[in-house]
């Protein structure tokens, strides 16, 4: 893990130095949490979603986070406009397909975004990623009950190649792949599933880490690792959800490379 440590350290240093502005077009349920994780680690979050201002806003940003929770028609226009502008300027775009598959509006939105915008990192849970995988590979059915790690690796690698982006699947074990290299992250705790927005926050953390403009692959891994390692450390079986949320934010804000020890819980698939 010595390489990972070097890359992670470099990204974290860059964040503290550059204070990357992370432009979010996101939902109103978890926007506050997303802003707080970005800010607590040294970044600068901004939320702006009127189609009229998103191109200007993303032009001064270091990365763009598109999150389709509480989606509506205005936001879809904003996603496309901001995404295209980010592409022109070489600003990384991180996509969170919240609830894709649940409604046609969300599925169509994702299809439109993927057709119009070059995505740097796509982060979702297994069900969301499988849904998109199914959409992109119509010749092959996707069994939504098949969420084994093995199936995850195959999907992550295949989708990464098709979409030419990093795929991050978060769950019991997180999987991050650029289509050639694939990593498993064994950090985390089940209690993270009892808090709303841990997925959205992870996407924002990836936005922050990619905003450091070092490596999108390592940026995606580090974003996932910060949430998973913090969620693991924050857990105390004597405490309940309210206190756990507070401690999760404590651990995220104090995250440093020391929190992952020798990196034993992060390994490359072979």
Rule CB under 8 A: choose which of 254, 256, 264, 268 binds its own copies.
Answer: 254
Annotated binding residue 242: no
Which is closer to its own copies, CB of 32 or CB of 148? 32
Which is closer to its own copies, CB of 87 or CB of 204? 204
What minimum distance in Å lies between the beta carbon of 8 and its own copies?
Answer: 19
Cβ atoms < 10 Å from Cβ of 17 = 10
| Residues numbered 208-247 forming contacts with its own copies, rule: CB under 8 A | 239-243, 245-247
| Residues numbered 184-213 forming contacts with its own copies, rule: CB under 8 A | 194-197
Angle in degrees, CA 187, 21, 16, rounded to 5:
60
Which is closer to its own copies, CB of 75 or CB of 187? 75
x-or-dash string of contact with its own copies, 52-81, rule CB under 8 A? xx--xx--x--------xxxxxx-------
What does each C-alpha distance from 94 to 35, 36, 89, 117, 230 come to in angstroms?
A: 15, 18, 15, 11, 21
Rule CB under 8 A: choose which of 11, 22, 49, 207 binds its own copies.
Answer: 49
Q: Which of 100, 233, 111 is nearest to 163 (CA)?
A: 111
Tell me whether residue 263 is exposed, middle or buried, using C-beta atoms within 10 angstroms of its C-beta: 0 to 12, 13 to 18, 19 or more.
Answer: middle
What minimum distance in Å lies between the beta carbon of 221 and its own copies?
Answer: 23
x-or-dash string of contact with its own copies, 79-118, rule CB under 8 A? --------------------x--xxxxx------------
Q: Which of 122, 98, 109, 95 is nearest to 29 (CA)?
A: 98
What minimum distance in Å lies between the beta carbon of 167 and its own copies?
Answer: 24
What does each C-alpha distance from 63 to 21, 52, 97, 142 come to in angstroms?
A: 7, 19, 17, 31
Question: Which two structure tokens, joined as six digits, stand for 138?
Answer: 């119509």
Which is closer to its own copies, CB of 31 or CB of 160? 31
Annotated binding residue 193: no
Site size toward its own copies (CB under 8 A) is 53
What minimum distance in Å lies between the beta carbon of 106 and its own copies?
Answer: 7
User: Angle 104-116/126-136 helices, nearest 10 degrees?
Assistant: 60
Supply the DSSP string of 195-261, one letter for each residue: STTHHHHHHHHHHHHHTT-S-HHHHHHHHHHHHHHHHHHH--TTS-HHHHHHHHHHHHHT--GGGGT
Which is closer to its own copies, CB of 68 or CB of 156? 68
Residue 129 CA to residue 177 CA, distance in Å, equals 13
Q: Which residues are annotated as a binding site for ATP?
A: 123, 170
- Chain contacts with its own copies (rule: CB under 8 A): 27-33, 35-36, 39-40, 45-50, 52-53, 56-57, 60, 69-74, 99, 102-106, 194-197, 239-243, 245-254
């Amino acid at each position: 893990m010595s390489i990972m440590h070097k890359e992670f350290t470099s990204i974290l240093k860059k964040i503290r130095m550059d204070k990357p502005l992370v432009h979010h077009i996101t939902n109103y349920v978890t926007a506050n949490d997303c802003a707080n994780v970005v800010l607590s680690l040294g970044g600068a979050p901004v939320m702006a979603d009127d189609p009229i201002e998103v191109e200007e806003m993303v032009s001064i940003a270091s990365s763009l986070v598109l999150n389709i929770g509480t989606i509506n028609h205005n936001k879809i226009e904003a996603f496309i406009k901001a995404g295209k502008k980010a592409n022109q300027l070489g600003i990384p775009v991180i996509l969170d397909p919240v609830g894709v598959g649940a409604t046609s509006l969300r599925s169509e939105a994702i299809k439109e975004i993927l057709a119009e915008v070059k995505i740097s990192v796509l982060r979702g849970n297994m069900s969301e990623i499988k849904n998109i995988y199914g959409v992109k590979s119509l010749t092959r059915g996707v069994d939504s009950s098949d969420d084994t790690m093995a199936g995850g690796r195959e999907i992550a690698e295949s989708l990464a190649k098709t979409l030419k982006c990093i795929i991050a699947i978060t769950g019991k074990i997180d999987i991050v792949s650029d289509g050639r290299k694939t990593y498993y992250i064994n950090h985390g705790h089940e209690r993270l599933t009892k808090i709303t927005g841990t997925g959205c926050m992870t996407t924002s953390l990836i936005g922050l880490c990619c905003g450091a403009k070092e490596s999108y692959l390592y940026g995606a891994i580090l974003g996932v690792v910060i949430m998973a390692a913090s969620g693991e450390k924050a857990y105390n079986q004597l405490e309940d959800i309210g206190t756990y949320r507070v401690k999760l934010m404590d651990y995220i804000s104090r995250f440093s490379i020391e929190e992952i020890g020798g990196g034993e819980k992060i390994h490359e698939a072979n």
